[in-house]
Structure 1
Amino acid sequence: MEYSTDDVTAARSLQFATYIYTSMAAFWTYDYACSLHEEWSFLLRSQWNKMKSLYIVTRYLPFILLITDLYMSFTSNENPAKCGMLANISSGFGMLLAVCSECFFILRTYALWNRNRILLAAILGTFFSFLAASVSITVDTTVSAAYTTSPIPGITGCYQSSTSDQIFIPFLLFSVFELGLMILTLIRAIQSWRRNSSRLYVVLMNHNIFYYACAFLFSVMNIFTSLLLQDTYRTVLNGFQFLTLAIVAVRMHIHLWQTNQHLCRSWSEAWTVQDDWWGWVW
């Protein structure tokens, strides 16, 4: 039996999704196994607060996200409604994961600017307005979308039979927001680099810039994939961005905590840093 070019292209995209989701699950499992000792040290020795709760959600939410994606990729599902439901659940978990990862660095930027409430209000106002627009566009383009499966035997998974050109807008907004936070961090670094040279401050500054740069580049990549590639490729790369940024955020959080534990041996420096902004980051 011969299949059309569209059927073959869709089948290849579904196979690509299966490979990438499997690789992402292996990567997340490997990262968790490598950091297990450090993570349990942090969980057992650190104080319980909002940041620690945020850490737990960001750390273990990818587990649910990957299970959903793997189930959707490996199950031969002929029910378009169920397929769409799984895709919407995955999209919702992905956006929640992105929000949790971003909260770490919004609070860090707030701390770097000496707890400036006006700046925090501006950041949160921009963030929630961009988030509301992104959720609205995502819901509009995915909830009512039609899903289908490949007619080629042995190809599992499902995909949207048609996509909207508006799907790139959330990543455009996300890239603009990350660029703004990066500029704020760089301005603060220029202003206070000579006055505050503690190791904890340097680590925090480097973490922020690296995270914002990664998030910006991922978002730009997803803008192009949303416009140029098929739905399956776009969905996979979106999930890859959310998972990678979550791993980066939690690993940086543990590293920052370890740096503070090391500096606590030098009482004077640790006290100065904590008195300035540490309580707001941790």
Structure 2
Amino acid sequence: MVSRETVVDINQLVEYVGAMRLVTYFNISAAAMLVYDYFLTLGMEVDLVWLSAWSPMKVLFIVQRYLPFIDAATFSLVHQLSTTINPSVCKQIENAQGLLSVTGFILSEIILTLRVWAVWKRSKLLGIALSILLLATAAACYVFTGLFQHGLKLSNRPYPEFQGCFITGTNRLLYVNWLVLMVYDSILLVLMVIPGITAYREQGNEGLHAVVYRDGVVFYVYLFVLSATNVIVIKALPAKYLYILSSVERCLHSALTSRVLLHIRDHTRSMISLWSDGITDIQFSSFVDDEI
């Protein structure tokens, strides 16, 4: 006769496997979305990035653009789908994925921050304030990611056909990362809206204002909503759904950041003599000299 404890364990395992399957679907969807968006913007990237002179902004763009293919696609899917992985390798993948993911988020935030700073005409005071805030955001994300990973408990697969890493214990500190990013992106959103209102009232170059302000604001809203949703999901759902939106936000964060730069550079490359912030432009060699 099967004991009650055994029945409970089996039911919990069935629930866990079902939850992990759902998380896997979200991860695969995120990877597919990343690849789809990549090919949609590949032509712009070739024209506006690969054909441009090398600069710090170009390097920053490329690194943040391609990191999610490693941490959000490759590592995440191996973590969820491998049938031969052991707890030791799982831990290494978890640590590497966490480090690369946070690094990718911060690199994207650097680009978004430079975008806002440029719109504010490179205000020295704002530059200092944003630098301090960004450093604090990065430090918090790295610290809480480390604490979260330290609290993970991994065990051997419960049966031979089990796919992915078997997590038997965790904490919810991962939500702090999304909370910190949500707060930081909300600040950037406000800082983008303020000059956007002024620019709208002045009725200048409508096409440029649409790219710089309207699209910029929309992208910041998307990032804010994604982080807020992740916080709610982690706090409200059982721990087994902890990763359900992580890859989705990671891929969208990188894709939207890339589009912020590509769209404005695409609009301004033919009128570079009329407008250029000199910071976040990815310079097009046919129009300008080497500069950041």
Q: Give the TM interval when normalised to the shorter protein.
A: 0.7 to 0.9
Per the normalisation by structure 1, the TM-score is: 0.88
Q: 2:98 aligns with which of 91, 99, 118?
A: 91
CA distance in structure 2 between the aligned counterparts of 1:223 and 1:195, rounded to whole angstroms? 38
Q: Which residue of 1 aligns with 2:148?
A: 141
| Offset of residue 78 of structure 1 | 5.6
Q: Which residue of 2 aligns with 1:211?
A: 219
The letter of the residue matching 2:97 is S
Q: Which residue of 2 aligns with 1:280?
A: 279
Deviations 1:39-58 (A, max 9, x none): 21223432321221111112
Q: Which runs of 5+ in 1 are unaligned?
A: 265-269
Q: Which runs of 5+ in 2 are unaligned?
A: 282-292
Distance 1:30 1:272, change over 3 A: closer
| Offset of residue 21 of structure 1 | 2.3
| Offset of residue 161 of structure 1 | 1.9
- Range that drifts further, 91-100 or 110-119: 91-100
CA distance in structure 2 between the aligned counterparts of 1:22 and 1:165, rounded to whole angstroms? 23
1:227 aligns with 2:235: yes
CA distance in structure 2 between the aligned counterparts of 1:60 and 1:78, rounded to whole angstroms? 25
Identity %: 24
Q: Which residue of 1 aligns with 2:83?
A: 76
- Range that drifts further, 120-129 or 147-156: 147-156
Q: Which residue of 1 aligns with 2:30?
A: 24
CA distance in structure 2 between the aligned counterparts of 1:6 and 1:149, rounded to whole angstroms? 16
SS of structure 1 residue aligned to 2:243: helix
Q: How many residues align?
A: 273
CA distance in structure 2 between the aligned counterparts of 1:36 and 1:133, rounded to whole angstroms? 33
Check conservation: 2:85, 2:164, Cα contact below 8 A: no
Deviations 1:108-167 (A, max 9, x none): 110111100110111121121122122112201213421135525533012432222433
CA distance in structure 2 between the aligned counterparts of 1:197 and 1:22, rounded to whole angstroms? 43
Aligned alpha-carbon RMSD (Å):
2.1
SS of structure 2 residue aligned to 1:273: coil
The letter of the residue matching 1:204 is V
SS of structure 1 residue aligned to 2:59: helix
| Offset of residue 220 of structure 1 | 0.8
Distance 1:281 1:95, change over 3 A: same
CA distance in structure 1 between the aligned counterparts of 2:253 and 2:121, rounded to whole angstroms? 25
Q: Which residue of 2 aligns with 1:54?
A: 60
Q: Which residue of 2 aligns with 1:267?
A: none
